[in-house]
Chains A and B, each alone.
Chain A
Amino acid sequence: MKHNFDFENCSPTNPFSTPEGYFEKFARKIEAATAPKQISLAQRSRPYWYAAAAVALVLSIGAFFFQDYRNDAIIKEQAKELASNPDEDAIKRILEEETSEAMIIDYILADAE
């Protein structure tokens, strides 16, 4: 059987086919794959959470050092009071204010230096 191929007179025919509905499914697949990503409320507010955490951290550090400074001031005040008026009432009152012995010793040693 002869199969001469005549380019002049033989019109090109596409011999291939695809599964049913292939191009429609393909278009939907690409549309979904390229769709802009929806950002959730949690993702959108994430920078604000980071900022709030940073502010809280700075405030905590500040409060810690302020508390330390305030304790020093109280100790100094109490020690001064003790030195100027070393009566039993003053000692009692200071002890009632829960100033520790160690704090008083620290102040006296510091003063001695």
Chain B
Amino acid sequence: MNINRQELDRLTLELKDETLRHKAFSRIVEMLSKPIYWHIRKMVLSHADADDLLQNTFMKAWQAIDSFRGDSQIHTWLYKIASNETLTFLAQQRIKNISTSLEMEELLLNNLKADSYFDGDELQRRLQEAILTLPEKQRLVFNMRYYDNIPYEEMATICNNSVGALKASYHHAVKKIEAIFKTED
């Protein structure tokens, strides 16, 4: 994540001032909508769903801005909201459309195939298929670490989990994906 932390810290302070709040929040949206979008998108795969969830994330953050006390960094707080929104959405999709995780995997794969905003090559498509075999929380951990290189300490705050558990989860995810590629070859 390439974020200007100093500017974010200043904007976070400005959020507490009602006269500066809207402008500061708009700037935060400009700075963080991209990384948070990719975070969501890698979970739901389709652009339309990622767009809805990104909007929900920022609107919920705006409505709850008074409850943000600055215990964590603003981007960590937003990642947490986005992760919760995404996991809730996937759980609702599961209940709405299907009953088993295999079927959920198929649904997401179909979303990926139907989405015109996927530019990956054959290897990347296979990697996405392999990632989809992971349980949702493990997928979240894998994506944050593999694609965004988020420090485990930050991931621990976002996922409400210990650093040790997240390291183990990532390690298992990598092993599973490697095993899938070996089996296919």
Contact = CB atoms under 8 A, between A and B. Distances in A.
Interface of A: 2-5, 7, 12-19, 22-23, 26-27, 29-31, 33-36
B37 A18 contact: yes
B122 A26 contact: no
B185 interface: yes
A98 to B, nearest CB: 65
B41 interface: yes
A71 to B, nearest CB: 58
Interface string B41-56: 1100101000100110
Chain B interface size range: 35 or more
B118 A17 contact: yes
Q: What does DSSP make chain A's interface, helix, strand, loop or mixed?
A: loop
6 contacts: A5-B126, A5-B181, A7-B178, A26-B54, A29-B55, A34-B26
Contacts of B182: 4
Contacts of B120: 13, 15-16
Contacts of B181: 3-5
B174 A7 contact: yes
Interface string B10-30: 000000000000100110011
A36 B126 CA distance: 46
A23 B37 contact: yes
B33 A23 contact: yes
A27 B33 contact: yes
A109 to B, nearest CB: 70
A18 B123 contact: no
Contacts of B33: 23, 26-27, 30
A29 B51 CA distance: 12
B153 to A, nearest CB: 20
List the 7 closest pairs (A to B, CB-CB), nearest first: A15-B120, A15-B124, A5-B181, A31-B26, A17-B117, A27-B30, A30-B29
B59 A15 contact: no
B62 interface: yes
